[in-house]
Structure 1
Amino acid sequence: MKKFTLLFIFLMSMHFSFAQQAEFGIRLGPSLTTFGGGDADGSEFRFGFHAGAYVGLELSDQLVFEPGIQFARKGAKNSEFGTTIGVRNDYLDFPLLLKLRTGESFYVFVGPQPSFLLSSALVLEEAGNKVTIDGSEIKDLWNGFDFAAVLGFGVNIQKGLGVQLSYEHGLTNISEGDNLFNRGFKLSFHKSF
């Protein structure tokens, strides 16, 4: 994880010498995530959130490289016989996006996203009662690294404000014992400076 943090800092500092124009920003919003894969039968979407920062390095008038760092709460839930079992995994995501401006305000983007598991919990709900189980025993059920492909589109509204919708498709198995992959949508509100 230290290597990716150093890479992010390096990329942010590169703009001073190479980029014609760079912008920094913050991004946050709700997420809707679930599991895919052979052992994901019955997995339902659960709400989460994400928040972080990014730097946009302008490569041309239409093309921007946008590395970022963000905290993201992901997971899934499964309901049977009145009991809901939810998985809540917290990640540090490093999206490395290539944005193509398709108009004055609109853009599309695509790129890889390595992620590192920070913590994990099981959330059990039944008849209005809720119990959360966390700790190293729960975290050890999951792989510490995830790698996803990200794609989406967005619009810059005004004064550095904007909104985007992205889909991330996990490419690596995140479970130590099952065949599970992260899948999710993020609705992001951003402010550029």
Structure 2
Amino acid sequence: MKKVLLSLALLAGFAGAANAQSGVVKYGIKGGFSLSSYTGGGDIGKNTGFKPGFTAGVLVNYGLSDMTSLQIEGLYSQKGAFIDNASGFYANGTTYTAYTNKQYRSTLSYIDVPVLFKVNTGEAGKGLFFELGPQASFAVGLREFTRDQNSGAGSPTEQDLSTDRNRLVPVGIGYVGGIGYQITSGFGLGVRYTGDFSNVYKDGFGAGNAPLRSDNNFHNGVFQFQVHYLFGGKG
């Protein structure tokens, strides 16, 4: 009888530990640095380099157990790419002007909404964690421009190609995978990769109906380096 009672007590203890974080809701803020590019799309995806940007926003984390949680985020995220020694056209009314051997850059702005399943391998909500899940991306802004090779931001050689957000696929579907470390119950660091299944543009790359618009099978790909702080619950 004593063995049975001891076994029941141990099971109750394990069950209590497993559900210690169940139902706990935490809120947080996060932000960080990103490197984005285009993937796929033949020559377009192969020739693009990584463009720096940033991401920032809020999150809600719902504890499923002591080691697992569901996290929903709303993030402003910069994406895009650059191409060295690019040649193409930009629209000026009904005419097109050619550019050659320029550095092409695009800054694309999105509101990203990832829904992540998180596994924390540490104790008391701290330690190494992994995250994975789908993401919806809502396009909110676009700027494409060129500038001379080896010139920096704000160069007088910058020439806008397009600021028409309607050229972007309005809602993209993708995925997020990442790893991080929860240093304290509030403060943590993470690295993740986000990739889109959806194309970047509705009808192709380049301004208006310019010839450069023929290749459209490419997607956003972004490395993000983030810091976050969680409020609420017991970490």
Provide the TM-score with structure 2 as the length reference: 0.70
Q: How many residues align?
A: 173
Q: 1:82: how far off?
A: 5.2
Greater strand fraction, Structure 1 or Structure 2: 1
What's the % identity of the aligned pairs?
Answer: 27
Q: How does 1:171-190 map to 2 (within 5 A)?
A: 171-176=197-202, 177=204, 178-190=216-228
2:50 counterpart of 1:22 = no
The Cα of 1:172 is off from its aligned counterpart by: 1.2
User: Deviation at 1:63?
Assistant: 0.7
**Alpha-carbon distance between aligned partners in 2 of 1:145 and 1:71, rounded to the nearest angstrom:** 14
Please list every run of 5 or more consecutive structure 1 residues that lacks an aligned counterpart in the other structure.
1-18
CA contact (8 A) 2:144 2:163 kept: no
Q: Which moved further from structure 2: 101-110 or 88-97?
A: 101-110
The CA deviation string for residues 103-155 of structure 1, in whole angstroms up to 9 with x for no partner, is 2311000000001100101122214433345433xx23321111111001111
Among 116, 127, 130, the alignment partner of 1:97 is: 116
Matches within 5 A, 1:2-81: 20-39=23-42, 40-80=45-85
RMSD: 1.6
Q: What is the aligned partner in structure 1 of residue 88 from structure 2?
A: none
Deviation, 1:156, is: 1.0
**Any runs of at least 4 consecutive aligned residues in structure 1 with deviations exceeding 6 A, and if so which?**
none
Specify the SS of the correspondent of 1:41: helix
Q: Work out whether residues 29 and 49 of structure 1, in 8 Å CA contact, stay in contact via their aligned partners in 2.
A: yes
**Residues 145 and 174 in structure 1, CA contact (< 8 A), matched pair in contact too:** no
- 5+ residue gaps, structure 2, are 1-21, 86-99, 205-215
TM-score (norm 1): 0.84
